[in-house]
C-alpha cells in the first residue's frame, strides 16, 4: 500500500507542515501584503528596510525550525536527542517571536493622518504561550537523563514485541505444521495456505 504510514510518521508530517505554515509561509504572506500596502502610497519611514531585514531573519529561523521539527519526530520517543531538539525548537520559536516583535510598534503616516500602532502585547502573549513547552522540554531532558536505563529497556521491550507480532504462525490444515504467515504453501505437505 502506498500510504502505509505509522503513527509517528503521520505526526512527523503534520508537525512539519504546521511548522512550515507558521514559520515560513505566514511571514511570506505577511511580507507581500505589507509590500502591497506600501505601494498604495502609505509612508512608514525607515520601517521598510527594517521590515526586510526582520523578514529575512524570520525566514532563516523558520527554515531552521521546520528542519528541527522534521528531525524531532525521526528520533526515538524517549531519547535525549529528541528532547534536546524539541527544546532547541521551542527556543528558536521564542527567538523568532522576539525578532518579529521588533515590528510591534510603528508610525503610519498617510497624507495628514499619523497613526501609532503598538502590538507588542500579542508577541508577549505568544512568548508566554511557548514558555510551558520550554519548561516541559527541560523536564523531559532531565527525566530522560535520570531514567535512561528504564527508557532503554522500554524501547527494547517494544522492539521485541514487534518482532514477536511479525513472526506469527498459522497451522496447516492437513499436517498441523506451524507455517509462517508469508508462506504460500506448507513446506511439509505442499498444501496451499490461506
Q: Among residues of the chain, what percentage have pLDDT more than 70?
A: 82
The secondary structure of 172-183 as a DSSP string is -TTT--EEETT-
Q: Residue 1: is its pLDDT beyond 60?
A: no
Segment 121-146 mean pLDDT: 84
Instruction: Report the candidate in 148, 141, 149, 117 with the shortest Cα–Cα distance to residue 34.
Output: 117
Q: Residue 164: is its pLDDT beyond 70?
A: no
Q: What is the DSSP letter of 43?
A: B
Q: Residue 108's pLDDT band (boundaries 50, 70, 90)?
A: low
Helix (H, G, I), strand (E, B) or coil at 162: helix
pLDDT at residue 161, rounded to an integer: 66
pLDDT at residue 110, rounded to an integer: 67
Q: Residue 2's pLDDT band (boundaries 50, 70, 90)?
A: very low
Convert the pLDDT of each residue in 15-48 to its tens digit.
888 888 877 888 788 778 777 877 776 666 667 7
Q: Across all residues in the chain, what is the average pLDDT?
A: 78
Alpha carbon 38 to its chain's center: 34
pLDDT at residue 4, rounded to an integer: 54
Phi, psi of 171 (to 5 degrees): -90, 135
Element (H, E) at 86: helix 80-100
| pTM greater than 0.95 (yes/no) | no
Convert the pLDDT of each residue in 81-102 to its tens digit.
888 888 888 888 888 777 777 6
Q: Among residues of the chain, what percentage have pLDDT more than 90?
A: 0
Q: Residue 64: is its pLDDT beyond 80?
A: yes
pLDDT at residue 155, rounded to an integer: 74
Higher pLDDT, 6 or 128: 128
Q: Residue 109: is its pLDDT beyond 70?
A: no
Higher pLDDT, 31 or 5: 31
Amino acid at each position: 500500500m502506498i500510504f502505509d504510514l505509522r503513527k509517528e510518521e503521520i505526526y512527523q508530517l503534520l508537525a512539519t507542515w504546521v511548522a512550515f505554515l507558521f514559520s515560513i509561509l505566514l511571514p511570506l504572506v505577511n511580507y507581500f501584503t505589507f509590500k502591497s500596502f506600501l505601494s498604495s502610497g502609505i509612508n512608514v519611514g525607515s520601517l521598510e528596510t527594517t521590515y526586510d531585514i526582520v523578514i529575512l531573519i524570520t525566514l532563516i529561523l523558520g527554515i531552521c525550525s521546520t528542519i528541527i521539527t522534521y528531525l524531532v519526530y525521526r528520533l526515538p520517543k524517549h531519547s535525549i536527542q529528541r528532547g534536546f531538539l524539541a527544546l532547541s525548537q521551542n527556543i528558536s520559536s521564542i527567538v523568532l517571536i522576539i525578532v518579529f516583535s521588533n515590528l510591534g510598534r510603528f508610525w503610519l503616516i498617510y497624507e495628514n493622518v499619523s497613526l501609532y500602532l503598538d502590538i507588542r502585547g500579542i508577541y508577549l502573549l505568544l512568548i508566554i504561550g511557548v514558555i510551558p513547552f520550554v519548561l516541559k522540554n527541560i523536564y523531559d531532558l532531565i527525566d530522560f537523563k535520570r531514567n535512561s536505563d528504564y527508557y532503554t529497556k522500554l524501547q527494547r521491550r517494544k522492539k521485541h514485541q514487534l518482532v514477536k507480532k511479525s513472526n506469527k504462525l498459522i497451522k496447516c490444515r492437513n499436517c498441523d505444521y506451524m507455517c509462517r504467515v508469508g508462506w504460500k504453501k506448507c513446506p511439509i505437505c505442499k498444501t496451499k495456505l490461506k
